[in-house]
């Protein structure tokens, strides 16, 4: 489905980003793999991806810093020749109720999740505009749609990503560029492993499909949005949440 395409995925060494990198490589895309710091997980993933017969280029950088975003995109294009798909996946949480939330925790989450997505789209747009094609996939969250007590910073960042997605979809649509967002529900990764079994069980009972999601559930939608099958879809926010937020 992605043969001949080049995809750049941020925060790709674990969790949802890793699942998307593997899914894209299985479908023939060359992969630029953004990471923050070199580690064993990165090296293992690089060889796992190379085993699928595609080119793999690790690109270091912190998406919350615009110069890093520019460098990540430049290295990807210089190394792999072009850029067809960008998945803005890097994200963090720093939870707390508003009365206790520190200003620096609010700023850190907005800087990585929202500004990081802006930085990457800014760095990518001119390249895709020149190509007159491209797919941008932003990873939002269901809490950006419905909110969550204890996650005001995170929910604001993810709601902001939805606004960015819709605005930039309008700006770039005329150049053949699709910009969409995925809103995952409760997906089992390091980010959610910190929650107690009790919380996980109570979440599970509220999900119509009666299970937590796994990273591959999100990767399957990313594959569709990254492929030509989504050519007439832009500015959309699609939930992968087992039906949790249907209305």
Other Cβ atoms less than 10 A from the Cβ of 120: the count is 28
Q: Which of 151, 180, 189, 230 binds ligand NDP (CB under 6 A)?
A: 189
Distance CA 57, CA 31 (A): 6
Using CB atoms within 10 Å of the CB of residue 204, give its burial: 0 to 12 exposed, 13 to 18 middle, 19+ buried: middle
Q: Which of 7, 17, 119, 181 binds ligand NDP (CB under 6 A)?
A: 17
Q: Which of 46, 90, 114, 181 binds ligand NDP (CB under 6 A)?
A: 90
Tokens 């700006």 belong to residue: 171
Site membership for ligand NDP, residue 37 (CB under 6 A): yes
Q: Is 232 a catalytic residue?
A: no
Using CB under 6 A, which of the segments 15-23, 162-170, 198-206, 223-231 binds ligand NDP? 15-23
x-marked contacts with ligand NDP along 210-239 as a string, rule CB under 6 A:
------------------------------
Minimum gap (Å) between residue 10 Cβ and ligand NDP: 6
Q: Which of 7, 8, 13, 20 binds ligand NDP (CB under 6 A)?
A: 13
Tokens 């967002």 belong to residue: 181
Q: Which of 20, 164, 187, 244 binds ligand NDP (CB under 6 A)?
A: 187
Catalytic residue among 35, 106, 154, 186: 154
Minimum gap (Å) between residue 68 Cβ and ligand NDP: 8
Site membership for ligand NDP, residue 242 (CB under 6 A): no
Site membership for ligand NDP, residue 165 (CB under 6 A): no
Site membership for ligand NDP, residue 40 (CB under 6 A): no
**Alpha-carbon separation of residue 247 from 71, 146, 187 (angstroms):** 41, 11, 20
Q: Which of residues 125-144 bind ligand NDP (CB under 6 A)?
A: 139, 141
Distance CA 13, CA 36 (A): 9
Site membership for ligand NDP, residue 33 (CB under 6 A): no
Binding positions for ligand NDP, rule: CB under 6 A:
10-11, 13-17, 34, 36-37, 62-64, 89-92, 112, 116, 139, 141, 184, 186-187, 189-192
The catalytic residues are: 154
């Amino acid at each position: 489905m992605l043969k001949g395409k080049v995809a750049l995925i941020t925060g790709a060494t674990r969790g949802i980003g890793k699942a998307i990198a593997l899914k894209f490589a299985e479908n023939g895309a060359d992969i630029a793999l953004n990471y923050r710091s070199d580690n064993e997980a990165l090296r293992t993933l690089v060889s796992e991806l190379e085993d699928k017969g595609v080119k793999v280029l690790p690109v270091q950088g912190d998406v919350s810093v615009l110069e890093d975003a520019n460098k990540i995109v430049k290295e990807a294009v210089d190394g792999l020749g072009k850029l067809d798909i960008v998945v803005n996946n890097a994200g963090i949480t720093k939870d707390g109720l508003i009365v206790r939330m520190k200003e620096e925790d609010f700023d850190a989450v907005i800087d990585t999740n929202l500004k990081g997505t802006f930085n990457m789209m800014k760095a990518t747009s001119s390249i895709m505009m020149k190509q007159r094609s491209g797919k941008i996939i932003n990873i939002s969250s269901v809490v950006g749609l419905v909110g969550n007590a204890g996650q005001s910073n995170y929910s604001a960042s993810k709601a902001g990503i939805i606004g960015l997605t819709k605005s930039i979809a309008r700006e770039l649509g005329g150049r053949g560029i699709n910009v969409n967002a995925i809103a995952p529900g409760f997906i089992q990764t390091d980010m959610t492993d910190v929650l107690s079994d009790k919380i996980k069980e109570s979440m599970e009972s509220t999900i119509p499909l009666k299970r937590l999601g796994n990273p591959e559930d999100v990767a399957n939608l990313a594959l569709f949005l990254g492929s030509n099958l989504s050519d007439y879809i832009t500015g959309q926010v699609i939930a992968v949440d087992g039906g949790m937020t249907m209305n």
